[in-house]
A and B are shown apart, each in its own frame.
Chain A
Amino acid sequence: MKKSTKGWIKSLFAGTVIAAGISVAATGALAGETVKVGVSLPLTGDWAEYGDFIKKSVNMVINKANKDGGVAGKKIELVIADSRGDPKESVLIAQKFVGNPEIIAEIGDFSSSSCMAAAPIYEKASMAQVSPTASHPDFTKKGKNMFRVIGTQATEGPYNAKWAVEGFGAKTVATVYINNDWGVAANKYFTQAAEKLGAKVIAQEAFSPGEKDFSSVMSKIKRLNPDVLYLPVFYADGAAIMGQARRLHYKPTVLSTGSLYSEKLIEQGGKSVEGVMTSVAYFPSNPRPESMAFTKEFKATYNKTPNMFAAVGFDAATLVVAALKKSGAKDRASIGKALEGLGGLRGVTGDFDYSKSHDPVKEYAKIIIKDGKWVPVK
């Protein structure tokens, strides 16, 4: 008898704990004259720093929009969630956003894999998922409510391959790329295009996220001595790679993607990163008026120089605000349609016309680090 009483208490306790937990999880939000936008980004873990830049930009745009009177008489409220760069977390967050009827659009996630994992949930709820950074070509094929701000790998890769092979006359190329969904795609589209153009790909070296020892891999590249080294990596890794190459007395011709563009690269890399070239859709000294205005505003707000991640975050938020305004912020399904109807919205990283395709066409500028500054390639 004693045992069963104990069992009773245990079961009761277990039940209460579960129930209490769930009710906490389920507490709804306050009602009011607001319209909510979900933001799903990695705010902790390996990708936190990039998520943070995007978050800053998004906050800036929304605050400004609210100051200017909001959309359709309503204030925009952000519901920010940390996905830690784990697709499973993104799925959970997606379901949470979709389950909250007040949230009518979503900005995020960061990685293509996260976005694609969450896509079916958003698609089913007709909620627009506007990803600043998902560059995998398949992302926008996951549904008619998937939008991206950044250019796809399928356009950026060949662009850079052409630059390498035709611009530099490279006969041999090598790549060192980060082994995540983005890096793999970046490497694939570049090497495919380079081979098609007649160059020989002599090494494709992936490194695990979190890796900081590149001396062995750079020794190898040095020995193989390719005409052009393609580096689809993030700037934090870029500085380490170039620093370690310099220690080996190796000075390759380096091309990269917009991910490498950052003031931080110069801050961290110093002399080692001199001569590094990238193609970018955004850089601060870009004469494009939207870019200049954004750079100024971001610097004034956060006392930091923005980078590519901040720029696409800004555009994502701007697009969502514009769509909210256009649609009257009534329901979810109208946001996707409004985004398609924005026709040529001028953003920081280019013009956005989603009417035919949800993959924006980017114009890339070529920039190079010269005397510790990013300047356009002549």
Chain B
Amino acid sequence: MLEQLINGLTQGSVYALLALGFTIIFGTLRMVTFAHGEVFMGGAYVGLTLFTYLTPSLPLALLVAAVVTFIMGALIEIIAFRFLRNAPHFSSLLVTIGLSVILINLAQLIFGPETRSIPPALIEDLAFGEIQIFGFYVTYLQMAVLGVAIAMMVATYFFIEHTPIGLAIRATSQDHEAAYAMGVNVNRIFTLTFAVGSMMGGIAGVLIGLYYNVFYPTMGILLGIKAFSASVVGGLVSMPGAIIAGLTIGVIESFAVDFWNASYRHLVAFVFMIIILVIRPAGIMGKSGPMSGRGD
């Protein structure tokens, strides 16, 4: 059973990382994006390309993927949101859906429709090298996934809470108008926040891509909406909430597979999400948390 717990935590930390990206974006812009799963896919393909054709180095892949998805995020924000700042939210939503369709097909064009993998020999040590904890095996990659996820969460927390830009982001997230009046360049903050949120998606992409070692153009669809639900369960605006919700969903899923059947695992996240929405729309963490930004 401990094995299922580790499985669940690893999977959950990925949900958490993706949900965190969502939460940062939503917390500030009050907008959602349906292209998040595709940014994640983009990050994963960056990892694949670097590992296969350049050098199998995890830090390098993470760095490059972060830069690439940061730029992707900024572009998506500008196209889907900045251009449409005065338009209905609906339009932005649709543009992100359109962009996700384009990104999926772009990936199919560049990398081919087939499922691709990094030659296993290149990541043999990373993926299968392991240490034993209490009689259970944990691979280096599993530790890297957990470690990077935690590091990202902590770094984001400090970025938001303890830097001048973070202050501007918090101010903007609480009241766009007031922030503008105080001289914050709201447009720039929006783009920056979106880019940072996307970057987290990209990093999650590298980690998950390596962890499962499968890369395909539609890989972001299911995970994208999964991360959504984790984000909602966490309250949509609360960073700790997103993390706890992501991990919880990951663990419950693992146990659901064990006690029930593998095919029903995805129900967990969505049923959980609807229950939370109905009984406690503010999410499991309520209104607390640094990004709560509800003007209170």
Chain A residues at the B interface, C-beta cutoff of 8 Å: 43-46, 48-49, 51-52, 176, 179, 204-208, 210-213, 215-217, 219-220, 222-223, 236, 239-240, 243-244, 246-249, 264, 267-272
Contact B119 A267, beta carbon cutoff 8 Å? yes
- Mark each residue of chain B from 252 to 266: 1 if its CB lies under 8 Å from any CB of chain A, else 0: 011001100111011
> B216 contacts A236, CB within 8 Å?
yes
Residues in chain A near residue B121, CB distance under 8 A: 270
B214 near A207: Cβ-Cβ < 8 Å: no
Is B124 engaged at the interface, CB distance under 8 Å to the other chain?
Answer: yes
Which residue of chain A has the shortest Cβ distance to B256 in the bound complex? A216
Complex Cα spacing A212 to B207, Å: 13
Contact B115 A216 (CB under 8 A): no
Complex contacts, A222 vs chain B, CB 8 Å: 3
**Are B212 and A217 in contact, CB atoms less than 8 angstroms apart?**
no
24 contacts between A and B (CB under 8 A): A45-B218, A48-B114, A49-B114, A204-B261, A205-B263, A207-B262, A207-B263, A215-B7, A217-B257, A217-B262, A220-B4, A220-B262, A236-B114, A243-B120, A243-B212, A244-B212, A247-B128, A264-B114, A264-B115, A268-B117, A269-B120, A271-B124, A271-B128, A272-B120
Chain B proximity of A92: nearest CB distance (Å):
19
Among B3, B119, B124, B221, the most chain A Cβ lie within 10 Å of the Cβ of B3
Name the residue in A207, A213, A268 with the highest tally of chain B Cβ atoms < 10 Å from its Cβ.
Answer: A213
A236: B residues at CB distance < 8 A? 114-115, 214, 216
**Chain B residues within CB distance 8 Å of chain A:** 3-4, 7-8, 10-11, 105, 108, 112-117, 119-121, 124, 127-128, 130, 137, 139, 142, 208, 212-214, 216-219, 221-222, 253-254, 257-258, 261-263, 265-266
Q: Are B127 and A216 in contact (CB under 8 A)?
A: no
Known: A179-B263, A246-B128. A213 touches B139 (CB 8 A): no
Cβ contact within 8 Å between B263 and A216: no
Q: Determine the main DSSP class of A at the interface with B.
A: helix
Q: In the docked arrangement, what's the CA distance between A246 and B123, Å?
A: 14
Contact A205 B119 (CB under 8 A): no
CA distance A243 to B217 in the complex (A): 20
- Write out the residue numbers on chain B whose beta carbons fall within 8 Å of the beta carbon of A243: 120, 127, 212-213
Please measure, in the bound complex, the distance between the C-alpha atom of A271 and the C-alpha atom of B123, giving whole angstroms.
Answer: 12
A193 CA / B128 CA spacing, docked (Å): 36
Q: Is the CB of A219 within 8 A of B258?
A: yes
List A contacts of B265 (CB < 8 A). 216
* Residues in B whose Cβ lies below 8 Å from that of A46: 218
Interface centre among B10, B142, B212, B266 (most CB of A within 10 A): B212
Whether B258 and A215, one on each chain, are in contact in the complex, defined by CB atoms closer than 8 angstroms, is: no
6 nearest A-B residue pairs (beta carbon): A270-B120, A48-B113, A236-B115, A49-B114, A268-B117, A206-B263
